[in-house]
Amino acid sequence: MKARFTGHETFPLRYGWLQKAVNQLNNKGNLSISSDESVREAVIELGVGKNMVSAIRYWAEASAVIDLEAQAVTEEGNYLFGKKGKDRYLEHLGSVWLLHFWLNFNYKNLTAYRYYFNFSNARHFQKAKLVDDCIEQAGAICTGKIPNETTVKKDIDCFLNTYCHKQTVAKKKGAINEDHFSSPLSELNLVEDTGGGYYICDLVERSDLPIEVFMYGLLRFVAVETEQSDSTTMGFDSLLTKPYSPGRIFQLSEGGLGQKLDQAQLYKESGISWTDSEGLRQIAFDKNSLANPKHFLDIYYKGA
Q: Taking 70 as the threshold, does the pLDDT of residue 168 lie above it?
A: no
Please give the mean pLDDT across all residues of the chain. 90
Q: Taking 90 as the threshold, does the pLDDT of residue 50 lie above it?
A: no
Phi, psi of 17 (to 5 degrees): -65, -45
Tens of pLDDT, residues 207-262: 999 999 999 999 999 999 998 888 888 999 999 999 999 999 999 999 999 999 99
Q: What is the Cα–Cα distance from 206 to 240, expressed in whole angstroms?
A: 14
Tens of pLDDT, residues 88-128: 999 999 999 999 999 999 999 999 999 999 999 999 999 99
Where do the structural domains in the chain lie, given as residue ranges? 17-88, 109-200, 211-303
Most confident of 42-56, 64-78, 279-293: 64-78
Distance of CA 220 to the CA centre of its chain: 13
Per-residue b or e along 187-200, where b marks 16 or more CB atoms closer than 10 Å to that residue's CB: bbebbbbeeeeebe
Phi, psi of 187 (to 5 degrees): -65, -20
In this structure, the strands spanning 280-285 and 272-277 are antiparallel
Query: What pLDDT score was predicted for residue 291?
Result: 87
Q: What is the Cα–Cα distance from 189 to 23, expressed in whole angstroms?
A: 29
Closest CA to 251 of 283, 206, 185, 281: 206
Distance of CA 169 to the CA centre of its chain: 29
Give this prediction's pTM.
Answer: 0.92
Find out whether 222 and 234 touch, Cβ atoms under 8 Å: yes
User: Is domain 211-303 given the CATH code 1.10.10 in the classification?
Assistant: yes
